[in-house]
Amino acid sequence: MAAEIITAIIGAIATILSALVTRFVLRKYFPERSILPTKRKEREAGGEEYSNLAGDWEQYHLTRDTSISLAPFWAHHKEHLDIYEGQYVEGFSKSVDHPAGLEYRIKGQIRQGKMILTLDCVSDPTEFATHAYPNLLNRKLLVGNWTGFDFQKRPVTGALISSREQRTAGDLNEILKTSEGWSYIPGDAHPLEAELLK
């Protein structure tokens, strides 16, 4: 019991530190993108190197709602990304299964084959998240990590999968088990079997 509490406290501290470090890194190394404009800049869409990432995505991320269950589940969003100048990312995300139907504005950048996105909630300014994708070679499937807040507004970090097509919970669990794009500490100490939110 004490070990579980200590593990939970360490996990919460690590999540908070991760979120703070991510925000610091984005502000320090991507200062031109740290403040979201209220109106989209008029630029021509395109970008040679990463244009394959533009378009519509089905995004799933592991989260939890302890008012329902302690087990993690896959939350589902529909996203649209535009790539500018080969490295800047703008877009939007809409929750499919959240009771409030939250909508997010997406800003980010691609550097050295990795994409980092910041999602700011349009309807709830206290709600935001960051997404990190370490491998952008697959045109139909991206696996990464997200940091944000669970349904009880507690910091959380979890797996993130974006696909060009809708997926089942079984598909997502299998992708995660066989993926090299996602890791967490303490590694394989926690078996993973998650369901879609219903």
Residue-wise pLDDT for 69-128, tens only, equals 888 889 999 999 999 988 999 999 999 987 777 899 999 999 988 999 999 999 888 889
DSSP output for 155-173: EEEEEEEEESS---HHHHH
108 or 182, which is more confident: 108
Residue-wise pLDDT for 31-57, tens only, equals 554 444 433 443 444 445 788 899 999
- Say whether the peptide bond before residue 191 is cis (omega within 30 degrees of 0): no
Query: Which segment of 4-13, 71-80, 125-134, 174-183 scores lowest on mean pLDDT?
Result: 4-13
Q: Which CATH architecture has domain 2-36+44-186?
A: Beta Barrel (2.40)
Alpha carbons within 13 angstroms on the beta-carbon side of residue 128 total: 15
| HEC assignment per residue over 64-95 | CCCCCCCCCEEEEEEEEEEEECCCEEEEEEEE
pLDDT the model gives residue 42: 38
Mapping DSSP to helix (H, G, I), strand (E, B) and coil, where does residue 63 land?
strand
pLDDT the model gives residue 195: 74
* Structure tokens belonging to residue 90: 């703008």
Q: Taking a C-beta distance cutoff of 8 angstroms, is the pair 89, 47 a contact?
A: no
Question: 150: closest CA among 68, 90, 79?
Answer: 68
DSSP output for 184-198: -TTGGGS----EE--
